[in-house]
Amino acid sequence: MVRSFLLMVVCLSLAGLASAQSLAGAAEKEKARRLKIQKSGVKAKSYTDDDLRKPTDTPFNVVPETKAAAGSPSEKGQGQKAEDGDDAAPTEKSAEAAAEPSAMDRLRARIDKWRARYREVKAEVDELEREVADLTKRTQPGETGGLIVYPGDGVNPPGVVAEGDVLAQRLAEARRKLEAAKQRLEEVREAARRDGVGSAQL
């Protein structure tokens, strides 16, 4: 009984000694920390019960504001603008390509140009051919024989000439004009051929 009591007393003494040594070590560390703070010139802030009872302005669990995450609406909008910009270039190129005439359009334009010129000269040739045919018929023997009074033109004096002579002169002039018109028509046909337009397209 006595032995048990003594053993308990020894254990309690050892525990108290260990606790005292722990408290002494903690006090020494705190003293060293305060001394270090004083040497650095930083004044430690002390808090009272009133400070603890005051409400804080900053709520707990506040997440700091960060930059917009990838895929946010702002970045998506910028990405969409970039994509729109990329799509704009092909669109403009497509519009320019559409505005530029194709090879078939250029051929049609050349055909229309040479066809108009050919038909203009052809109409002149047809008119002269009709005039030559009429004058040729009127100058046949037995068709003429009358006289024509010539009033004069300021160079040749007035007079009386045979109708056959006047018609023959007009026929010669019409034939000369007809040959010149046919020559021009052939030149138009050849120029059109060199430009890629065949005679069948005129």
Instruction: For tokens 């070590």, name the residue.
Output: 25
d(C-alpha 146, C-alpha 177), whole Å: 26
* Overall average pLDDT of the 105-129 stretch: 96
- Cα(first)–Cα(last) distance of the chain, in Å? 143
Tokens of 69: 């995450």
Beta bridge partners of 147: 162
Residue 82: predicted pLDDT: 53
Fold exhibited by the domain 99-197: Helix Hairpins (1.10.287)
Domain ranges of the chain: 99-197
d(C-alpha 192, C-alpha 112), whole Å: 11
DSSP 111-179: HHHHHHHHHHHHHHHHHHHHHHHHHHHHTSTTT---EEEE---SSSPPEEEEHHHHHHHHHHHHHHHHH
Comparing 103-117, 145-159, 171-185, the range with the smallest average pLDDT is: 145-159
pLDDT in tens, 77-103: 555 555 555 555 556 666 666 678 899
Residue 113: predicted pLDDT: 95
Residue 68: predicted pLDDT: 47
